[in-house]
A and B are shown apart, each in its own frame.
Chain A
Amino acid sequence: MSLAGRLEGEEAKASSPSSRLGKTVTLGPGLAYLAVMLGAPLALIVGYSFLTRGSFGGVVMEPTLDAWGKLANPIFFDVVAGSIKIASIATVLALAIGYPAAWVIAGLPAKWKTVALVAVVLPFWSNFLIRTYAWIVLLNNEGLINRVLRGWGLIDEPLGMLYTEGAIVVGLVYIYLPLMILPLYSSIERLDPALREAAFDLGASPRRTFRRVLLPLTLPGIMAGSIFVFVPSLGNFVVPELLGGGQEIMIGNLVRDQFFKARDLPFGSVLALCVIALMLVLLFIQATVLRRTRETHG
């Protein structure tokens, strides 16, 4: 996916003759749109985060740091930490499933590559709520998996799989796996085919080859895919609700609840800004790692 390329930090364009008019006509409308629809709302929540909550929603124009102070409450801190944990596990699992799969796809004959990729993306294009719902059907105590296992006499009591942290993780991996595979594929595909063959055929300590040669070379794809999985996992509020049975909440639930339950816009703004901060930290790590590998591997 070309977006992956973008995130990998392609070199800035070669200098081109700049025409003021052309620049205004092409960049103007889009940037104006983003300024109003993205810039202004973000500026707004930054402002809100320093204001006082109105009793019945809205804000009161009294500057305060109360909303930021709430972050010190261990409960909210736990939610943030728990969300990071769940999103991290989901990311690692997606990587574990996605990396070998992307590797196989990259090695397929050309005509099968597109088919294989389309097959990866296809589920992604059915509604994600329905895909989440499918897991309720599979995992619940009277659900398909438990029925089958009981039918075969493997278990007596149903395994409590639904409404657990594990179910949330599975749901997140399932939803976002294609976003992991695509950038991985594009960075593996770019490797020298001879190098790819070597990884399998030379036999001599493949683990070493992988770690020393292939891993660094595919790192851009790993980073991009991980961010694609981690960031939306972090903010997801539907999966914890449907598959977690409301017993586990993540930052996304918290943000939504500030609007629809607590009617606390300032704290909601603070939480939203935290999500952005986490994302920026990740992007920074990504940029640093990529620069390092580029330095060491020329």
Chain B
Amino acid sequence: MAELWRRTPLWMAYAFLYIPIVVLFGMSFNASGLPTVWGGFTTSWYGELFSNDDILGGARTTLLVAVGSTIVATILGTLLAVGLERYNRSRVVDAAVMAPAIFPDIVMAFSLLAFYTLIGFTLGRVSVMASHVIFNLAFVASIVRTRLHNFDRSVEEAALDLGASELRTFWRITLPIISPGIVAGALLAFTLSIDEFVIAFFTNGPAHPTLPVVIYSMVRFGVTPEVNALAVVLIGLSFTVIFVAQRLGGVKELFT
């Protein structure tokens, strides 16, 4: 009993975090479409969701942007992590790489839009992707770096002593060891990109809004039952991603 009582704070935090989600879940099956009136059970909102071109188009754009920015950020971020860990002694460089992770999104969004406008960079999926790389890169670098920091360098040194080239050592020894970190970083980058709204709102062109921007316009137009269904689907998707991550051994990296 004492044990249970002691865990009350956690249960309360969970209640706070999950009650709104449970409400959305319930409403997504509510035929009346109004949040306060139960009009019977239906799955029709899900049907409407999957035939809503705006949402589907937004989902496509979002996936494209997320995949693109994740790939670029994972490559650049991993290299940065290695560089920071092995070669860099400057605190300024250190701070510069980590800066985008805590940089307020509104500032980044504003300055990027001003910048793109000045250089005449066409606003669209590519500009959002390029913008997402900035903060994704910092998160990937950070996670991979922790992994690098924690592993036993003697393995590498042994390989080098045995005559392997630096590149070969990196490729055959270092990379496999840090790969869980890379996977974790990529997953985090992917999910951050999928959820990102402010920068996408500023730096995207009009033709292909990302899903969060589509949701923004739906939410602003009031209580739309499709949004509830969408919420349930998105949470289901995060479950899947986490499950996959668990299988790939990446989840722990995010929490250590």
Contact = CB atoms under 8 A, between A and B. Distances in A.
A268 B251 CA distance: 39
A280 to B, nearest CB: 10
Question: Which 8 A-B pairs give the minimum distances between C-beta atoms?
Answer: A26-B83, A100-B9, A134-B20, A2-B146, A27-B83, A41-B111, A125-B238, A235-B106
A95 to B, nearest CB: 12
B87 A279 contact: no
A138 B23 contact: yes
A3 B144 CA distance: 10
A82 to B, nearest CB: 16
A27 B88 contact: yes
A33 B16 CA distance: 40
B216 to A, nearest CB: 5
29 contacts: A13-B84, A15-B89, A22-B86, A26-B80, A30-B79, A30-B97, A37-B134, A38-B134, A41-B111, A41-B114, A100-B13, A104-B6, A118-B251, A122-B235, A123-B18, A123-B235, A125-B195, A130-B24, A130-B234, A133-B227, A135-B20, A147-B36, A177-B16, A177-B17, A182-B255, A186-B256, A251-B106, A252-B106, A269-B114
Interface residue SS majority, chain A:
helix
Contact of B231 (A13, A105, A134, A234): A134
B66 interface: no
Given A30-B83, A138-B23, A130 B9 contact: no
A214 B198 CA distance: 37
B6 A200 contact: yes
Contacts of B137: 30, 33-34
B170 to A, nearest CB: 9
Contacts of A38: 96, 99-100, 103, 108, 134
Nearest to B217: A129
Interface of chain B: mostly helix, strand, loop or mixed: helix
B178 to A, nearest CB: 12
Interface in B94-135: 94, 96-108, 110-115, 118, 130-131, 133-134
B20 A19 contact: no
Interface in B39-95: 76-77, 79-80, 82-89, 91, 93-94
A8 B168 CA distance: 34
B211 interface: yes
A12 B242 CA distance: 32
A84 B162 CA distance: 58
Contact of B252 (A13, A114, A143): A114
A38 B115 CA distance: 10
Interface string B207-234: 0000110011001100100010011001
A45 B114 contact: yes
A155 interface: no
Interface residues of A, number: 97
B141 interface: yes
Nearest to A136: B223
Interface of A: 1-3, 5-7, 10, 12-13, 15-16, 18-19, 22-23, 25-27, 29-31, 33-34, 37-38, 40-42, 44-45, 48, 97-98, 100-101, 103-105, 107, 113-114, 116-123, 125-138, 142-144, 147, 174, 177-178, 181-182, 185-186, 200, 227-228, 231-232, 234-238, 242, 251-252, 255-256, 259, 265, 268-269, 272, 275-276, 279
A228 B105 CA distance: 12
B10 A40 contact: no
B13 A275 contact: no
B223 A29 contact: no
Nearest to B219: A133
| Most A-side CB within 10 Å, residue of B16, B111, B166, B212 | B111
